[in-house]
Amino acid sequence: DAKTTQPTSMDCAEGRAANLPCNHSTISGNEYVYWYRQIHSQGPQYIIHGLKNNETNEMASLIITEDRKSSTLILPHATLRDTAVYYCIVSPRRGGSNYKLTFGKGTLLTVNP
Amino acid sequence: DVKVTQSSRYLVKRTGEKVFLECVQDMDHENMFWYRQDPGLGLRLIYFSYDVKMKEKGDIPEGYSVSREKKERFSLILESASTNQTSMYLCASSPLAGAPQRGYNEQFFGPGTRLTVL
């Protein structure tokens, strides 16, 4: 799996947009970008994924650069409950033995009141 | 909703004991996973299973074994627990044919078991 680089921690004010960057410069053509988050004392939870187009769902937006070497997860109006560790993962679309998701250390996002 | 349950939230064992961590999922998922999570190291995959009685080593299988006798249950076994196996253990499952709107690869996690080996 391609490796990702994320900042160790970030802060955001409640109600403001949180923009979490991720570098994945060695991503290959068949690999997706996935974002998961882990709230304290819980297991990780899927947020969003993308291949090359920008994506939006009820939780977040994902912006992937044209060269696919980096991406940004956007939480448009961060709340205190969004305080969590956010993981950026690149992985092939499922098939064969490609079931694994390799979690790195992630970014601890702290949303402040 | 998918539910992944783990047998204990907290567990304390002594060095040398045999430890079983149990995970059950109720959504008929083919794939199941065991991770451990340590401060500063993130989540690391120990073993995974893509079918009953099938298993594959993850990134850190040493000191662990697994058992999958039934589709819904995946057990992690520490044959002789050691203090360096003190950690948070997380179980996950995923369907063989993942939902395209979820990236085909969504994993569902349990709440975790915090194991302390004294």
Which chain B residue lies closest to A93 (C-alpha atoms)?
B104
pLDDT of residue A96: 47
Q: Answer for the pair A91, A80: CB distance below 8 angstroms, yes or no.
A: no
With a cut of 50, list the residues of chain B below it in pLDDT. Answer: none
User: Cα dist. B39→A1, B9, B35, B44, B93 in Å?
Assistant: 22, 18, 13, 11, 23
Mean pLDDT estimate for chain A = 90
Residue B22 and residue A90: Cα distance in Å, rounded?
29
pLDDT of residue B1: 67
How do residues A41-72 score in pLDDT, each as one tens digit?
A: 889 999 999 988 899 999 999 999 999 999 99
Judge whether A101 is closer than 8 Å to chain B, CB to CB: yes
pLDDT of residue B21: 97
pLDDT of residue B100: 63
Residue B106 with chain A: CB contacts under 8 Å: 46
Residue B103 and residue B107: Cα distance in Å, rounded?
10
Judge whether B18 is closer than 8 Å to chain A, CB to CB: no
pLDDT of residue A94: 60
Which chain A residue lies closest to B98 (C-alpha atoms)?
A94
With a cut of 70, list the residues of chain A below it in pLDDT. Answer: 1-2, 93-99
Which of left, alpha, beta for B117 (phi over 0: left; psi -120 to 50: alpha)? Answer: beta
